[in-house]
Structure 1
């Protein structure tokens, strides 16, 4: 199985409403009059991070990508649990972990530690408290909505090529910034929202699929870090910007580019300049 077919097989098991049909960035549990948002991500050496990556940067990225999922739900972080595979650079991992937790005032609540042979892997579970009801969902896009994205796409891709330089692109790759404040401000405005982790085009297709709609994107409206490599910037991923839909006349509380619109209901279709594109076209990263 590839990633998509495996997740589809899991949907039969994930029948609790909190799982949101496995079509969202996180689970949302109603608890004591509040909504808890829970998410989990794994990083694998040689897949999500380079074999020679600084463990401090691995720790930062591990927590940041989970906080980004909370940002897409407009959630305030309550804490994280971290799984660490012991090996070279453990002290650096602890240092980077302390830096990301301090930067976003997030407590470490626990986790697990193991040692094994082969490629190392790291896991993180992040827990947050929703700040707005209903909690933003990938499934809410409405016909007539505009499609927006924050920031510029492709900086992480360029940063991998410029790794260690200290440039803005370098930091975008090594130390992505979860847009927690922006997510909380957008939560009352959006009809659907998710973060861009696997490439803008693939994540737009996922949003269209979850909302059962057609999304029409305008290529020239998409902000990319290198216009000469626009297709790569839209497909590479690791951007952790916020992708969302909102009424076309909505007053947005954050800066964002309007990159398209929501059209037909029941379409499950992504169009780029009127051309239908699908995951089989290599829209982004899939395992």
Structure 2
């Protein structure tokens, strides 16, 4: 899933793809690199970001969705607003990626229940201006899984098709660096929820902290190799998808993971597991 930020203030590439024609060209470039899905967003959710108006988000997102969907691309839209989701679906989007898991807009759950689209249910504890102060956990994996299960149950109770729901642990959203690593180490608990899992680690602060501690460049643009390493690990674990800013490296990482999984499966089927 390649990221197209149609925003002036995203943490990783703020303003770089803000103009609509540039955003559309960038989306096509990500497809050429091997992206299966384009995730288009018109509102930054970086820590401390202020919300944009509904009208502004619609103006940013819908024309880009229309242009890229018209070329046959599979489009996801990163939004917490049901009205933006509706407009994006009408423009050709097939997936709604809601970082709030349906908590930010009371109209989102009924929309998901009524619609025939895939919906990403992310773990969330509040908007960008308050999420840092809500990053307190006793046992982060268990609590995130329990809160995600609650959102899934609410959606299904409202009439949503369970087969169309995807879960995302919300790395970086009300989590500190150690929390993010524990969630990645606890993927089994996430996959046990019984839904496809999306991982969004790309260029996030916890990767920058890791690189900085090792004396390496830690600005977002220098985190792509670390992102690809995470992609390889979670792909080997069998997650449904990864959301990334730089696609080519993660495509290669997925190929490596697939080759490893294939070799492991062959070894198991031949009864040679663990042999040199």
More strand by share: 1
- Between Structure 1 and Structure 2, which shows a larger proportion of helix residues? 2
Q: TM-score, normalised on structure 2? A: 0.28
TM-score by length of 1: 0.27
Higher relative contact order (CA 8 A, sep 6+): 1
